[in-house]
């Protein structure tokens, strides 16, 4: 009986870590999606204001190009976290057409998830380096550190890496299974309740 106890504890710890990672991934995805939605609203308002000021008032604001670009970069990368979580980012969808074996599709899915995780971590590291280099420079119109634009890369890539880690820790690795699990566990935004 004492030999069973040590083997149960690591399994319980592993399950707790997995549950914590999945919970953290889901909350970070929801937060990123909320921020991205706010970014889209802000971007729309900024563009409308800029067009109004330029064409009606004849005086475009000094930040007319810089601020919308900043908001667009952050909004895009924040939304990419949600796309990664839901596996709705760009994909050709050729694997199910070429490979009929569900086993091979799952193995390929695991390999793909691991490769994406590695690339996201490398991109996050490169983004941190770029952010550190450009934090001493200021933007032309807003006079804020240029690194704020590039800070979106390491933060969002880290969040996407967390999501990819969740994909790797989940027993299924095919996109269809993941989407089906999410649809049954909680309704998505826009779905009728």
Evaluate if residue 53 carries a pLDDT over 80: yes
Q: Quick one: average pLDDT of 136-140?
A: 94
- Rounded to whole angstroms, how far apart are CA atoms 45 and 37? 13
What is the reported pTM? 0.78
Evaluate if residue 7 carries a pLDDT over 80: no
Q: Quick one: average pLDDT of 179-192?
A: 47
- Rounded to whole angstroms, how far apart are CA atoms 54 and 32? 32
- Rounded to whole angstroms, how far apart are CA atoms 52 and 47? 8
Evaluate if residue 177 carries a pLDDT over 60: no
- DSSP 3-state of 55: helix
């Amino acid at each position: 009986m004492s030999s069973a106890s040590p083997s149960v504890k690591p399994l319980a710890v592993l399950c707790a870590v997995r549950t914590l990672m999945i919970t953290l991934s889901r909350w970070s995805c929801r937060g990123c999606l909320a921020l991205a939605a706010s970014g889209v609203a802000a971007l729309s308002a900024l563009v409308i204001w800029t067009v109004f000021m330029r064409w009606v008032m004849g005086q475009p604001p000094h930040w007319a190009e810089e601020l919308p670009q900043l908001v667009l970069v952050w909004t895009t990368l924040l939304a990419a976290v949600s796309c990664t979580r839901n596996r709705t980012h760009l994909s050709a969808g050729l694997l199910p057409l070429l490979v009929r074996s569900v086993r091979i599709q799952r193995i390929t899915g695991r390999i793909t998830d691991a490769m994406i995780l590695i690339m996201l971590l490398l991109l996050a590291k490169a983004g941190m380096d770029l952010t550190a280099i450009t934090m001493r420079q200021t933007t032309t119109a807003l006079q804020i550190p240029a690194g704020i634009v590039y800070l979106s890369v390491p933060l969002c890539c880290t969040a996407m890496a967390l999501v990819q880690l969740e994909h790797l820790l989940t027993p299924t690795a095919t996109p269809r299974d993941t989407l089906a699990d999410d649809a049954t566990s909680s309704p998505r935004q826009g779905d009728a309740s």
